[in-house]
């Protein structure tokens, strides 16, 4: 299941942002209320869509989108959850190496150990 980031209004003038991973909601941060952020994040935004600014015209939403990845990396370390695909691959021990002589990618077991 893909992680989603959403916001809730917790008090007058304050929004709290959460990430949902495997059915658990984890608190990220809070900031001042903005209508554009409420509209953008109210239904949840997938983690893969956080880096795409093409359809975002609000400065407030852009600034919030720039802030979220650092909080997500912290949550991954602190809670031991896997949010990004890169983290999932790293935990599985799957690495792909680039071979500059052959101009291509190799699996780790293809290397000769001297």
33-79 pLDDT, tens per residue? 999 999 999 889 888 888 777 778 889 999 999 999 899 989 888 88
Q: Are the C-beta atoms of 106 and 99 separated by less than 8 Å? A: yes
What is the maximal distance between C-alpha atoms in the chain? 65
**Is pLDDT above 70 for 16?**
yes
CB-based burial, 76-99: b 16+ in 10 Å, e otherwise: beeeebbbeeeeeeeeeeeeeeee
Beta pairing, strands 4-11 & 45-46: antiparallel
The DSSP call for residue 48 is G
- 3-state secondary structure at position 69: helix
Measured in degrees and rounded to the nearest 5, phi and psi for residue 106 equal: -130, 155
**Is pLDDT above 70 for 29?**
yes
For residues 27 and 17, what is the distance between their CA atoms, to the nearest angstrom?
6
Q: Domain spans of the chain?
A: 4-110
- The model's pTM is 0.73
Percent of the chain past pLDDT 70, that is, above it, reads 73
Q: State residue 39's pLDDT score.
A: 92
């Amino acid at each position: 299941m893909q992680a989603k980031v959403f916001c809730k209004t917790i008090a007058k003038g304050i929004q709290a942002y959460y990430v949902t991973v495997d059915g658990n909601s984890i608190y990220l941060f809070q900031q001042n209320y903005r209508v554009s952020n409420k509209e953008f994040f109210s239904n949840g935004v997938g983690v893969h869509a956080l880096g795409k600014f093409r359809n975002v015209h609000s400065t407030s939403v852009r600034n919030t989108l720039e802030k979220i990845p650092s909080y997500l990396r912290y949550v991954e370390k602190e809670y031991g959850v896997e949010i990004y695909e890169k983290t999932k691959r790293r935990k599985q021990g799957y690495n792909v190496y680039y071979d500059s002589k052959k101009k291509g990618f190799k699996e780790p077991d293809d290397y000769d150990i001297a």
